[in-house]
Chains A and B, each alone.
Chain A
Amino acid sequence: MVRWILEPGLFSNGTVRTALLLGALVSVVSGVVGIFTVLRGQSFAGHALTDVATAGGSGAALASLSPLLGFVGGGVIGAGAMDAIGVQRVKDRDVATGVVLGAATGLSALFLYLITLQTSTTGSTQSILFGSIFTVGPSTLPDVALLSVVVLVGVMVIRRPLLMGSISPELAAARGVRLRMVGIAFMVMLAAAVGLSAIAIGSILSTALLIGPPASALKVVSRLSHAVVLASVLGVMATWLGIVFAYDSYYWFGSGRGLPVSFFVVADVLVEFVAVNLVARRRRLRVVEEPATTAMPEQVGWI
């Protein structure tokens, strides 16, 4: 049975080991940053920055710069552009994000086209756009780990004003929180986190892990620390299961041709989301029967 689930050679394979490590690292960062992204209603920006980072990555590939620099730098520049256009009011935010995203995808189209002219290799477009966790070499691991730590520490530092500003901007402003500063700082961290995950696991998974596990966690848990931990655990679980399934799938069709990791990880993320929704609904039914046992999220220590 174990042999059937875990194909022989899974853990002795270097590529798989790197993928498992990278995947876990990126899932934790996405889980932590994602909680605030979901709370602040910035899923669109979170996704758009992935595509902006991809434009940066393809530009870097064209200029033969370091891809990590391209992805993270592109994301940060995109975040700056969104802020410059205006992200204060919610509806302006939508347009600002959209305009930057549109321009960045236009640039990606140009860069990727020039890359295919330059190298005449096939598959580069798809690998840059969709990414694959199996293509990252172990040499990127230290850089990714370092940046992950920087982002996590940054979020830790601003977590209180950030949370307050996300849940109740008026209250936060009254207590002297500089909302704009906090907002910009968060956008930069979001851009870095997303650029990091786009290069490590591809842009599809970047959005999936940023939004899926945190949205699931926020359905069932009401304390910030619990939500962060649960989102990270759900993210790591989905990633690891996805990697195992993808590795196995090379043997399913007998053709030596597997399904992509992103497909399995996204499927796992969605299954988790559905399962958590079912749990939340059952709990809500029970709560109706015995209302005394529940407290409002604010009372349990959100802030």
Chain B
Amino acid sequence: MTNAWISGTIIALLAGAVGFFVVLRGSAFAAHAIPNGAFAGAAGANLVGINPLFGLVVFALGAAFGISSMSRRTRSDVATALALVMMLALGAAFLATSSAYEPAVNALLFGEILGVSSSEILPVVVLAVVCALGLTLLYRPLLFSSIASELAVAKGVNVRLIDTLFLVVVALSSALAVPVVGALLTFSLMIGPPAAARIVTSSAHRALALSVVFSLLTLWAAVASSYWTDLPIGFFVGTMSAAIYLAARAWMRLDSRRSRRALA
């Protein structure tokens, strides 16, 4: 349980920060496709009998590079869809040829809070530090190219390189989040809380900080609820992420109505 709290907290911090840029750049589809690629990697690692983390990282990176290289040929949403189905089909083939134990597969898809052993904490910490460092280095050009991409191009920022590097950060953070939160729900942690934060404040820095806070609250509440009810953590992460977004919208609507009434 302690392991789940530690790794969950690290994942939430990272997902909140990465998710802020995912929402800002409108790359939700890529953030959905990459964890699914990681899932295929875990299934493949299981088949050949190597450390699943290795499979997760390699396939998540493969999905990221696949999306960014195919985006040069075709629209990026089409490229993402094709990369996604390729990864999922490989995953299905790996699962069909290996005799994977079904609960283990479900854990990878929907998350398993008790699936973290203390020996797995160290790689999670190392990967998280790498991601945090990458995000810090990328922070200024990434923010610049996300908000004003034409201007960034004109100023000589290599937008394409920034985009690829960002997808690499998404891939690494997905690889560490998938075993805990699950391939299908890692994505919702990167969308709901950041989108809620962007509604509540218009300042980029404040939105980034709030996004991390919301994501932490969502994950902690989800881990606790899953522990008490014995229901899968994915259910709580998915619905709570959506709930926090809807709550932020409702709150803003009430707020603007109140201020209008105060003026009148």
Contact = CB atoms under 8 A, between A and B. Distances in A.
Given A99-B245, A106-B185, A113-B235, A129 B109 contact: yes
Contacts of A166: none
Given A101-B187, A113-B231, A106 B96 contact: no
A106 B234 contact: yes
B78 A43 contact: yes
How many of chain A's residues touch chain B, expressed as a range? 35 or more
A94 B102 CA distance: 32
A95 to B, nearest CB: 5
A222 interface: no
Contacts of B121: none
A206 B230 CA distance: 32
Interface string A91-117: 100110111111111111110110010
A233 interface: no
A113 B232 contact: yes
B186 to A, nearest CB: 10
B177 to A, nearest CB: 14
Contacts of B29: 43-44, 47, 94
Interface residues of B, number: 52
B232 A94 contact: no
Contacts of B232: 109-110, 113
Interface string B222-247: 00000000011011111101100110
B234 A105 contact: yes
A212 interface: yes
Interface of chain B: mostly helix, strand, loop or mixed = helix
A45 to B, nearest CB: 9
A98 B184 contact: no
B252 interface: no
Given A109-B235, A125-B106, A259-B97, A98 B81 contact: no
Contacts of A109: 109-111, 182, 184-185, 232, 234-235, 238
A99 B198 CA distance: 14
Interface in B179-207: 182, 184-185, 187-188, 191-192, 195
Nearest to B190: A98
B132 to A, nearest CB: 23
Nearest to A93: B26
A105 B102 contact: no
Interface string B97-136: 1000010011001110000000000000000000000000
B78 A215 contact: yes
Q: For A47, A109, A207, A259, which residue has the most chain B Cβ atoms within 10 angstroms?
A: A109
A38 to B, nearest CB: 6
Interface stretch (A13-21, A145-153, A175-183, A266-274): A266-274
B50 interface: no
A278 to B, nearest CB: 11
Nearest to B93: A263
Contact of B89 (A102, A112, A262): A262
A225 interface: no
A43 B77 contact: yes
A98 B195 contact: yes
A251 to B, nearest CB: 15
B238 A106 contact: yes
Contact of B239 (A107, A126, A129, A266): A107
Nearest to B184: A105
B204 to A, nearest CB: 15
A108 B28 CA distance: 19
A246 to B, nearest CB: 10
Contacts of A195: none
Interface in A238-282: 257-260, 262-263, 265-267, 269-270, 273, 277
A260 B95 CA distance: 9
B84 A47 contact: yes
Interface string A150-164: 000000000000000
B82 A110 contact: no
Contacts of A91: 26
Nearest to A51: B184
B75 interface: yes
Nearest to A259: B93
30 contacts: A41-B75, A42-B77, A94-B23, A95-B23, A95-B191, A95-B195, A98-B23, A98-B31, A99-B188, A102-B238, A104-B238, A106-B188, A109-B185, A109-B234, A110-B232, A113-B110, A125-B102, A130-B95, A204-B88, A208-B82, A211-B82, A212-B85, A215-B75, A219-B74, A259-B96, A262-B89, A263-B89, A263-B96, A266-B88, A266-B89
Interface of B: 23, 26-29, 31-32, 73-75, 77-78, 80-82, 84-86, 88-90, 92-93, 95-97, 102, 105-106, 109-111, 182, 184-185, 187-188, 191-192, 195, 231-232, 234-239, 241-242, 245-246
Given A44-B29, A207-B81, 12 more contacts: A47-B29, A47-B32, A51-B184, A95-B23, A109-B234, A110-B231, A125-B109, A126-B95, A130-B92, A215-B82, A263-B90, A266-B86
